[in-house]
Amino acid sequence: MRLLFVGDVVGRSGRAIVVERLPRLVADWKLDFVVVNGENAAGGFGITEPIYQDLIDAGADAITLGNHAWDQREALVFIERAPRLIRPANYPPGTPGRGTSVITAKNGARVLIVNVMGRVFMDPLDDPFATIDRELHACPLGSGADAAVIDMHAEATSEKQGMGFFADGRATLVVGTHTHVPTADHRILPGGTAFVSDVGMTGDYDSIIGMAKEEPLGRFVRRIPSGKFEPAMGPATLCAIAVETDDSTGLATRVAAVRCGGRLEEARPQFWE
């Protein structure tokens, strides 16, 4: 099975490169399943229903969220009719939407998607480790699902790495999101789970984590806000992680970084070229 996880889509520039490049990647690489983190897709803050549909139409099979899930208030309503939109599972009981879902891939496989938020330097939500343990027991890899993808939306690298080892051997992929900078530590852990601390953002890298530089830089220097954050609008880089699995176990056999377009050096999985 061939999986692709696309990192945090930031603003119009990020959306544009997904719409432009993802359909071709799906076709050229014969991708079975694509996950996109879309929590920054609407002007850098949250997601709207039309944007959700645009990402689905471009080839996303599931869209995960994070700490900006509800920045666009309409998300609280439309998430109930958006079965492929997954918010963090460790939000309190009664939160709209779903934190986990089993979605059928293009090849007919069952893919478990779980989205959780870390708690280090972030909102004090329910324990993400207990949440993941519960979900993996409820839908085990190999019997309940043919593949399992965990989006660990967290600030601290240590917490993301901890989740990788915690789920090793029980998930296909544990991918870190939120910090918007691609790390070079993608690998297959000893138990067979593919892992990367941060897949990186899909947006304009002539920016400060996707935002036009002037306002955040001014706040660093003067400590006084002078306006609101706005997404950078230059050419975007699509950042993703590519995973190939063993169909008999659901565990990863190969993993590679993907970077297309924009300002970062290109990277592609040689095993699919």
The residues annotated with a catalytic role in the active site are 68
Separation CA 255–CA 242 (nearest Å)? 6
Separation CA 146–CA 160 (nearest Å)? 23
Instruction: Supply 193's token pair.
Output: 């789970």
Cα end-to-end span (Å), the chain: 16
Quote the DSSP letter at residue 197. S
Separation CA 75–CA 117 (nearest Å)? 18
Separation CA 4–CA 243 (nearest Å)? 6
Which sign, positive or negative, has the C-alpha torsion 202, 108, 245, 167? positive
To 10 degrees, what angle do helices 157-167 and 128-138 make? 20
For residue 165, which amino acid is it? F
β-strands 33-37, 62-64 pairing: parallel
**Dihedral angle at the C-alpha atoms of 244, 51, 204, 4, nearest 10 degrees?**
0
